[in-house]
Structure 1
């Protein structure tokens, strides 16, 4: 499957592709990065975009002076906040109708609303660090009618921690020779580590005895 191989090659060598794009298109690449991060967080149908690895690589390029660290931080935090805000709005306005009542009945909706009333804030923040889940968390927060002012505060906090943390990690760690020469391995490690919580939650759900209520 050459298409999948090509996508994997781009993902694992994203720093090289990004450097070439910067040489050819300059500041327009910042707009592309904005759109990628916005789409991953704002469009519920695009959860597979490489947010974590992209942020880390951008940080490594900023660390060697190829990109602007303050510019990346401001731009990508804005993209993440706007993406979650749009996702929340779609969930709030059309979420129940999109589910068509088949996957989300009244009982599920009430349970979701109670959960977000108690744990919605930390869910929005923690979900930032979990691929796929971060795309659906704001959508579900909208469905659960989480108050927007409350959501916005946690949205902004999570975006700053996520974007700032990964950009900062790339900025400082990318200067080490070992990280530079094994960047593809580091990217794979980031992807694997970020997927571990979701995999553990899935395994817990699968191994849970039938009839046992989930927490």
Structure 2
């Protein structure tokens, strides 16, 4: 327990030196990029629930971070990320989705399209809590020409429920005995694990893309013989 306390003090000092603004920008940037730049395709966990929960834990354990600033910024970043995803889908259409990833990613897109058709307005809200759907639903809503104001309202609800809600859950979870003192360890565990799974997902998707390319090239060659 003493070691964890010392680690908290050391990391808190580091946070002060690096700057709280940088911490805010890192969290907000990852949340935004998760959907706006489709970063969540390969690292869905670090741009998702784990990141938000971990940031809430860190905010509760630090004297330098303001939880109100953190959750407001996170909510805005989540909202803007989905808005950009929606506009990209509306502007570039289905071809934009087809250009991303191998068979695993394309299978996830097909599954997300079915999910969107089933739940409509609610799909934008529910998708926030589903790693793959969170990435693709805004784009698919744009491709499907969902009414802009319907999307806007569902995006606001989703950003509040997910971005603000999970961050606050992490913040208040720190009140559980032992959790606050180990907050940085828990946060670090979530983030490192997310990076590992993200790299694995990226490698698998890349391998599948390479496998499918020779098959596509071979078909015309065989037919021409």
Q: TM-score, normalised by structure 2?
A: 0.63
Aligned residues: 169
2-side partners of 1:19 and 1:89: how far apart? 41
Aligned to 1:20: 14
Residues 1:54 and 2:51 aligned together: yes
Match of 2:91 among 82, 90, 93: 93
**Cα shift at 1:58:** 1.7
1:153 counterpart = 2:153: yes
Q: Report deviation, 1:172.
A: 1.0
Give, in whole Å, the separation in 2 of the partners of 1:30 and 1:74.
11
Larger radius of gyration: 2
Q: Deviations over 1:171-213 (max 9, x none)?
A: 111122332466556865xx99xxxxxxxxxxxxxxxxxxxxx
**8 Å Cα contact 1:116-1:141 kept in structure 2:** yes
Q: Are residues 116 and 135 of structure 1, via their aligned partners in 2, closer, same or farther at CA, if it must alter by over 3 Å?
A: closer
Q: Distance in 2 between matches of 1:185 and 1:62?
A: 13
What is residue 35 of structure 1 aligned with on the other side? Answer: 29
Distance between the aligned counterparts of 2:35 and 2:177, measured in 1? 32
Contact 1:58/1:67 (8 A) holds in 2: no
Q: List per-residue Cα deviations over 1:21-55 (Å, max 9, x = no partner).
A: 45323323212221111001212244315121121
Deviation string 1:105-138 (CA, Å, 9 cap, x unpaired) is xxxx9xx5x9757622111001101112201110
Q: Which residue is equivalent to 2:144?
A: 144
* Gap runs ≥5 in structure 2: 1-9, 104-109, 195-225
Deviations 1:141-187 (A, max 9, x none): 11111111000100010000001211111111112233246655686
* TM-score (normalised: structure 1): 0.66
Q: Does 1:63 align with 2:69?
A: no
Q: Structure 1 regions of 5+ residues with no counterpart?
A: 1-15, 104-108, 193-215
Within 5 Å, which residues of 2 pair with 1:150-189?
Answer: 150-180=150-180
